[in-house]
Amino acid sequence: MAGTMALLPLALLGLLLAGRGGQALVPPSELKQMSAAGSKYIDTEVENAINGVKQMKTLMDKTSKDHQAILHTLEETKRRKEEAVQLARDKEQQLAAKQEVCNETMLALWEECKPCLKHTCMRFYSRTCHSGSGLVGRQLEEFLNRSSPFSIWVNGERIDSLLERDQRQERQFEDLEERFGLLEDEVDDIFQDSTQVYGRIHPFFPAPFGGFREAFRPRVQRVRLVPRSQRFSRELHPLFPHPHHSFHRLFQPLFEMTQRMLDEVQGGWERPMGTFGSESRNFSDDRMVCREIRRNSAGCLRMRDECEKCRDILAVDCQQTDPAQQQLREQLEDALRLAERFTRRYDELLRAFQAEMLNTSSLLEQLNRQFGWVSRLANLTQDTDGFLQVTTVLSKAPNPEDPSAPPDTQVTVQLFDSEPLSLTVPGDISWDDPRFMELVAEQALRHYKQNAIE
């Protein structure tokens, strides 16, 4: 009775509006029955949406399980990579402790190698890089004067490259983990909100969900390998300007950025050191080398294969004069090759995980756009008369272009907690036709979903 009394002022408003070009078709006593018919349709759609959210949660749970397996593989790969790098550093230190290389011939080769190396590096830098050649030239000359043929003979910059690559991988991993955590939390929030909706409206559904109640489990506390940083969370917060949005945008920019970075370093890892001839370079390789030379003159050592005397240093065999030194060098090379292999493997795993998350987030976003709107009802108090309330039903003025056609019907409704909405139903569908309220409810829900997405 209270619900009917609340609708009387709106019904009277409808009668007033009728005098302005429309005719009230439905007496107030019939509005409640129409509201109930529309609410029945809305109930079914809410039930379907909650089941859709369950699909999202199931997909996220499977992804989280797969994620744990990927983390295990990444951790194992990282451990073996770090062991190989540490072994290489130990062998390099043992070689450096000997102070001198195995014969004086190498020192003579080094004196002829240095000017050629400087000329080759500066010619490349002047042609390829944008600025700073004067400063780079001075830095390079100081570096070569205080270096020894040892830096050429042991490929020392390979360890530097491995360490730099390790830092970059660590940043990529932390970014990926942060974004994965945000996605996991967002899906969990949608699911928990839908749990509240289900618990509140379940008595109004004529049929049970069949096991769905059991699917509503308490939130599982997850242990993250990477701590959530407030800085990063604040930077990503704009990705969710509206609730439950932009899953795909979490991973698309990261995937594209990583793809570019991997493309840049691919050439330097897949070909022998020093092959920087014009026929073997590409633009991304050049940018990487320019950055490396500006940061560290040791980057010019990569071009040693361009100089005959530098190549001769690499070919020096210490087997006769110092077998132990030669053995250490071979062990160093073996450790470096192993570390580089695990580094490439780690990159492949990161890329595969990013590709998987790109696909999963795209699917989750599709499901969310279709079903996620139901989570907005978590704090809604349902009226005992249902989710949809019909306030006025008016016959619009006849169409002057076709006076014989039945006039359209204007229906004002309120769905959930939204503002009153005016809808138009074609005149050939009578207000007492079952299709009438189904069409009204469908239009109202479509409008509500659209606002939820925007």
Q: Is pLDDT larger for residue 271 or for residue 257?
A: 257
* DSSP-derived secondary structure letter, 17: H
Structure tokens belonging to residue 245: 């949005």
Rounded CA gap, 165 and 238, in Å? 30
Measuring CA to CA, which residue among 326, 297, 296, 299 is closest to residue 314?
Answer: 326
Q: Would you call 341 exposed, middle or buried from its count of C-beta atoms within 10 A (0-12, 13-18, 19+)?
A: middle
Which backbone phi and psi does 54 adopt, to 5 degrees? -60, -40
Please report the pLDDT score of residue 20 as a whole number.
41
Strands 388-395 and 421-425: unpaired
Please report the pLDDT score of residue 338 as a whole number.
95
Q: Is the pLDDT of residue 264 over 50?
A: no
pLDDT digit string, tens, across residues 299-319: 788 788 889 988 888 787 776
Written as one letter, the residue type at 194 is S
282, 82 contact by CB (below 8 A): no
Over range 115-140, report the average pLDDT.
83
Q: Considering the entire predicted model, what is its pTM? A: 0.67
C-alpha distances (whole Å) from 345 to each of 3, 76, 155, 342, 350 are 66, 11, 22, 5, 9
pLDDT digit string, tens, across residues 330-356: 898 899 999 999 999 999 999 888 888
C-alpha distances (whole Å) from 174 to each of 169, 171, 226, 429 are 9, 5, 6, 59
